[in-house]
Structure 1
């Protein structure tokens, strides 16, 4: 934090315009709270909701994590920014403009012309996922039909249901009806779009009629009935998408692992003993397992990008206001957007084209420019033709790697806990991860982009990342709590999972002045980032600070609270939510345990085309062979690649 003079307990922040960015030192800070599960979690959840001791506990937690110091004992000179406000963005090169007010089908048709030439393959020697254009080719050529695929999808979901619950709401009869209608359109030679017959899941906090929207709870659907599709779902449905059901999620989106003691916890297809990531856990897992080529998620704190990274697929968070959030649990908040999760950048582009479109209110207040996509249809449109400036602090990579190896050798002669508490080197944000594999893989990708595509690597420093984290917690927590106040007043608080009770108790402790202070921080942070974007086109970070964490056996019954894991998973994600920037996670490799690693690209406001262009180049050039997940279904021919699903998961219950 950048302070001026100190007077008693009050601290005065220097105006953001006077901060010298080159002199800022990285200091994200560690989240302070014990890991809780089982009996300790139950006891803590009871105490934090108690009338008097609860206030003491929340006050202590906020003090330990410097929240009160920053929100209540600091004078912040900037006026509040209650929702992201964007300056004009430069026109992106070699793009195809999309008609926002036109039909979703027309936008998808335009998007398909932006993609590289497709080579349909029905038999492959190396593993790869079937993408949307593979399905479209198979349908139009008569190799299979949506109805045939639907039967394989139903079989796969039924096999997963007992131990790997991917969906909260699922109706095989309705699924067959949608597939039959799509099959008939193909028989008549009249598919609605290239998305016709494509199977998608929808996160359980996004309305998809007639399925209920429970938000991962056991009760919300009883008092919040669903009468129609969310806007994004409606646009995809008009393109012929087949919705398989409502994907499992971390309850109310208030977690980053995907753990859900009510409906079961989705497992990571690459290792079923690990979390899929949250809160869009079911959406990412159903895509990574091959059952659906795409899914919808919502992202209020990395909830699309985190599970996409942990599961080895692609996840796009759009600019705030680029997609309409009408029909979501929290409604029109200031940090959350709806976005696609898919197995490839091409597929993300097609889904994004169908669902984009600002709400009427956002068109008035944000004045979004015409949406566009990168034209990737020829070599001339590659990144090499448009060298980009990539901002990060990779200059410390070699030094970071040397220190890690040196201390790791020393630790092998002592004990493992010493490594986790003492030998975690922190030089810069990019390097602040819990495994050298993450920085190593991501650093190699950046080197490749520089050498092969002429991208310029620009050193940047981002101030006040700890303040960013606090601004996010307060903003999202208050907005979620506000949307739930009528329900919580009716006694539904007691029906929440224990970790949700703890999180909401902390949210209830925030005051109106805390919320305003968080929005003052938002304006400071927006200023810093827009200054950085004068020097770079994209900010590059790892998607997460760790690969998929293990599921503790004690967490399955009643959940867990682990702020250290939360901090590692969300470390690089919340910037795009607080400030409304577009961001994408693209898989770039694996750690030594075979777990996926994702690279995050954060772009200027409204510049989805720029990050999609670079993500496509990374996907094409960083061509390490895809590894087939341990849990994988080939729904195109009904072949089950995971006959030992129960054995894989059984060890953890």
Structure 2
């Protein structure tokens, strides 16, 4: 068994495997052993692909023995949200209905690219039904649990991804983010997450939620690991019409450039409301460390969130109309009812939401002429309890499920790249968004790396397992 697997980063594993100090097979066995021990508590995995993982690990070791270059992620175990196609598995997307689908004939593009870089897929991860969720409480598979306190949610909809990385079952996982589903689990589980620019990473052979808002991206316990995974997955893909044909722009070599010369501001107004004290403290700690004293107002953010709701529910409903007609009782009732409401929104309102979206994007992009990075809270609070229905924000009792994404929706609505960084407060971590202009993942990751080096942000060891 690979000694201390749970303490190793992906970069450390890859270096050790490539340098013959550790075998990919031993690392894989260590990961599978940790999954077997802790997944019954965390409920992060829905499928463990042990036979596939062992075969892949043996192939990595054989390639190294033959003197071949194993890739930047040699022997690194990873797992994916179960809306990614995995060859031989039905792509359930967190649902009961999708379990009747035929097993996938081919892996998703991003899985193929990570394995081409030497990584080893060990399984598929729990998620909110059809990705319409902020808590990670799946009605069919049960909730994925927070590794720092298993009575709390992991966040959604990529809850299993957050739980698996935060619980150190794997060093890297993939998730999706439509309205906040990478950034919310990152915040609650105390890990790093990257929602790239819309169109940057291929979504081919993944189950959609809202095609005009869906992003795929990685989770990790360090900025370097996040960057390595992101670099391995970049590149155009004709199978996803939204995927950019821009040249690959590797970010890993740029992490050491630091933040000198970058213009960093804090989001004001809307983004300083509806927050518990810990969320305010987290943003303040990050801003102070970076010397960020400027505040910028993101215009009409509340309207942006409202428009995001309209587009989300209508596009989501359109995708699921046949399922809603034929198998309504097989949905999580909360998901079903939101989709049904979306099916009844009049077309003129959807048109207005899309027109506003174009206006709002243009106004926000204007801000990046005077700043390079904007800081904002990732979630209004740390992880709520499983089953918790409401929380109090600014003296007002609000429903938990729809309001966890208060500060993420106005950003993903226009496809900006964001790195969510964990501030390891006690008793629970909480995240901050580092927001950059389109295609400038490199800048957001540089800022995250500088904060990590200053020990302001870090992924704490799991406190609940």
Distance 1:391 1:369, change over 3 A: farther
2:265 aligned to which of 379, 390, 393: 390
Shift of 1:224: 5.9
| Equivalent residue runs for 1:196-345 within 5 Å | 196-223=74-101, 225-330=103-208, 333-345=211-223
Structure 2 counterpart of 1:448: 289
Shift of 1:191: 4.4
Deviations 1:220-249 (A, max 9, x none): 142465221112122112222111111100
Distance 1:365 1:618, change over 3 A: closer
Structure 2 counterpart of 1:460: 296
1:527 aligns with 2:365: no
Shift of 1:352: 0.7
Greater shift in the superposed pair: 165-174 or 310-319: 165-174
Shift of 1:155: 2.5
Distance 1:291 1:503, change over 3 A: same
Q: How far apart, in 2, do the equivalents of 1:344 and 1:620 lie?
A: 10
- Matched position secondary structure for 2:79: strand
Deviations 1:427-468 (A, max 9, x none): x33332442122123212211211xxxxx5322122222211
Instruction: State whether residues 81 and 175 of structure 2, in contact with CA within 8 Å, keep that contact through their aligned partners in structure 1.
Output: yes
1:478 aligns with 2:311: no
Deviations 1:186-229 (A, max 9, x none): 33343420212111111111112122210011221424652211
TM score, norm. by length of structure 2:
0.91
Q: How far apart, in 1, do the equivalents of 2:244 and 2:168 lie?
A: 38
| Equivalent residue runs for 1:342-381 within 5 Å | 342-360=220-238, 368=246, 371-373=249-251, 375-376=253-254, 381=257
Greater shift in the superposed pair: 609-618 or 479-488: 479-488
| Equivalent residue runs for 1:499-648 within 5 Å | 499-552=334-387, 564-590=399-425, 592=426, 594-623=427-456, 627-631=460-464, 642=465
Instruction: State whether residues 391 and 537 of structure 1, in contact with CA within 8 Å, keep that contact through their aligned partners in structure 2.
Output: no
Instruction: State whether residues 325 and 331 of structure 1, in contact with CA within 8 Å, keep that contact through their aligned partners in structure 2.
Output: no
Q: How far apart, in 2, do the equivalents of 1:480 and 1:625 lie?
A: 35
Shift of 1:628: 2.1
Shift of 1:548: 0.5
TM score, norm. by length of structure 1:
0.66
Deviations 1:332-381 (A, max 9, x none): 81111110111111111111111122444878997646534264475xx2
Instruction: State whether residues 389 and 399 of structure 2, in contact with CA within 8 Å, keep that contact through their aligned partners in structure 1.
Output: no
Tell which structure's C-alpha radius of gyration is larger: 1
Q: How far apart, in 2, do the equivalents of 1:315 and 1:543 lie?
A: 11
- Matched position secondary structure for 1:483: helix
Instruction: State whether residues 255 and 442 of structure 2, in contact with CA within 8 Å, keep that contact through their aligned partners in structure 1.
Output: no
Instruction: State whether residues 188 and 429 of structure 2, in contact with CA within 8 Å, keep that contact through their aligned partners in structure 1.
Output: yes
Distance 1:433 1:187, change over 3 A: farther
1:432 aligned to which of 267, 273, 291: 273
Q: How far apart, in 1, do the equivalents of 2:273 and 2:388 lie?
A: 28
Structure 1 counterpart of 2:14: 136
1:487 aligns with 2:323: yes
Shift of 1:622: 3.0
Number of equivalences: 457
Distance 1:629 1:432, change over 3 A: same
Distance 1:607 1:376, change over 3 A: closer
Distance 1:360 1:332, change over 3 A: farther
Distance 1:518 1:136, change over 3 A: same
Structure 2 counterpart of 1:145: 23
CA RMSD of aligned residues (A): 2.6
Shift of 1:259: 0.1
Q: How far apart, in 1, do the equivalents of 2:345 and 2:182 lie?
A: 26
Q: How far apart, in 1, do the equivalents of 2:180 and 2:368 lie?
A: 21
Greater shift in the superposed pair: 528-537 or 268-277: 528-537
Instruction: State whether residues 182 and 191 of structure 1, in contact with CA within 8 Å, keep that contact through their aligned partners in structure 2.
Output: no
Instruction: State whether residues 317 and 340 of structure 2, in contact with CA within 8 Å, keep that contact through their aligned partners in structure 1.
Output: no
Q: How far apart, in 2, do the equivalents of 1:525 and 1:625 lie?
A: 33
Q: How far apart, in 1, do the equivalents of 2:316 and 2:72 lie?
A: 36
Distance 1:267 1:361, change over 3 A: closer
Instruction: State whether residues 372 and 437 of structure 2, in contact with CA within 8 Å, keep that contact through their aligned partners in structure 1.
Output: yes
- Matched position secondary structure for 1:579: coil
Q: How far apart, in 2, do the equivalents of 1:185 and 1:198 lie?
A: 15
Instruction: State whether residues 129 and 343 of structure 1, in contact with CA within 8 Å, keep that contact through their aligned partners in structure 2.
Output: no
Instruction: State whether residues 64 and 70 of structure 2, in contact with CA within 8 Å, keep that contact through their aligned partners in structure 1.
Output: no
Q: How far apart, in 2, do the equivalents of 1:214 and 1:624 lie?
A: 34
- Matched position secondary structure for 1:570: coil
Deviations 1:148-202 (A, max 9, x none): 2222322222233444321112232222222222232333343420212111111
Q: How far apart, in 1, do the equivalents of 2:366 and 2:255 lie?
A: 33
